[in-house]
Amino acid sequence: MTVPSAAVKRPLLDIPFNDWFKAFELEPKDSYRVRQVHTWVFDRRVRTFAEMSDLPETLREKWEGTFRLRTLVLRRREVSAQDGTARLFFETSDKKSFSSVYLPAKGGEGDRSALCLSTQIGCAWGCVFCASGRVALERNLSAAEMVEQVFWAEEAFGRKINSLVFMGMGEPLANFTNLVQALQVIRSPLGLNYGARHVTVSTSGLVPQITMLAQTAPHVNLAISLHAATDETRKKLLPKSSAWTIKDLLNAAWAYQRATGRGRVTFEYIVIKGVNDSVREAQRLANLLRAKKAWVNLIAYNPVEGLPYQTPDDATVREFAKILTQRGLFVRLRKPQGTDISAGCGQLGEAVRA
Ligand code: SAH
Ligand code: SF4
């Protein structure tokens, strides 16, 4: 018998759960085997079928030759001396590199650990303030490659990760089909079983895909990278995603909120010195969002090597936040994390050092 090479073996996590029974070529009387594989993969976290000791040898061998349980290798990790944030460097089976960022719980009450997942290698959206946007899109990550980031991170840190945020490299909604498959694995009780409130997808604002996400995917929180209160400023900062107007983007966001019920929409706003940090801009932003009492995450710009932008001082960011709060918005000031190892928001550029 010829054993298929690793390259032709199908990553199991790329296959929707509903299709596992068929893919495994089981007799109906043996359908309980599917459940056994789920337990081995998600609860016991085995990396090979050979380890599934309650399955018959013949099935283990057959499936080992047909499917892959892991496609990534965790090459290296770098931990921030500043705050314990860790950057994980992965290598794909086609020898490409990318990373995710682990944000440890800081021990305070209600504090949670989080993993910032990547969805593409590079990004085609070219936002002018972002390191990922400077790396040409090489390819989409598969659903298996997205989910495996969670597996490897939990194993590396020996604990369950509380929240997953799709805010690493890439534009999740530009890799829609794989994202939806990954979300299904992440949300399903047969998979990683994350609650809707613990999964957040961040987008630079692809309006048609936001609508599709509301219809097709298991519900999750949506974060919209707004970063500007006028179409004019947004066009300068996000040249491609400003193909849609702020008005259309907000309408899609409110529709998402309505369709998903509890799924919350938050707005991300990077405050960049002299670009979008004025009192006028804060007032305009408040006017856009006040009717909905929206949540805004304010992020002081994280410096990216080679880019001309600057971080505003604390007082400016606090003043900006105050204007929003006074007008009824909920504001969270996101502290920069892991900036000493280039693991902060928007700092995930090339990861070729893996
Ligand atoms: N493509 C998606 C998700 C990845 S970017 C998106 O754009 O939303 C994740 C977050 O990092 C976004 O809110 C993005 O705007 C932010 N970000 C990018 N560059 C940044 C920088 N230099 N400083 C701070 N945040 C940045
Ligand atoms: Fe891509 Fe998001 Fe960076 Fe824009 S901010 S370049 S969409 S990763």
What digits encode the pLDDT tens for the residues 284-300?
Answer: 999 999 988 889 999 99
**Closest ligand 2 atom, residue 131 Cα:** 3
**Closest ligand 1 atom, residue 166 Cα:** 3
For 252-271, what is the mean pLDDT?
90
Q: Give the least confident one: 24-33, 219-228, 253-262, 272-281.
A: 253-262
Which residues touch 3 (CB under 8 Å, ≥6 apart)?
65
Nearest alpha carbon, ligand 1 atom 12: 225
CATH class belonging to 6-68: mainly alpha
Distances (CA, A) of 263 to 73, 217, 222: 33, 12, 7
List b or e across 303-334, with b for residues whose CB sees 16 or more CB atoms inside 10 angstroms: bbeebebebbeeebbeebbebbeeeebebeee
How many C-beta atoms lie closer than 10 Å to residue 65's C-beta?
A: 14
How do the domains of the chain map onto residue ranges? Answer: 6-68, 95-341
pLDDT digits (tens, 9 = 90+) for 73-116: 999 999 999 888 999 999 999 999 999 999 998 776 667 899 99
Which residues touch 195 (CB under 8 Å, ≥6 apart)?
none
100 lines ligand 1 (CB under 6 A): no
- 332 within 8 A of 200, measured Cβ to Cβ: no
311 lines ligand 2 (CB under 6 A): no
Question: pTM for this one?
Answer: 0.94
123 lines ligand 2 (CB under 6 A): yes
**Closest ligand 2 atom, residue 134 Cα:** 6
171 lines ligand 1 (CB under 6 A): yes
Candidate from 99, 101, 146, 202 with most ligand 1 atoms within 8 A of CB, to mutate: 202
127 lines ligand 2 (CB under 6 A): yes
Closest CA to 191 of 234, 158, 143: 143
What's the CATH fold of domain 95-341? Answer: TIM Barrel (3.20.20)
282 lines ligand 2 (CB under 6 A): no
**Closest ligand 2 atom, residue 124 Cα:** 1
How many whole angstroms separate alpha carbon 54 and alpha carbon 154?
A: 25
Annotated active-site positions, please? Answer: 345
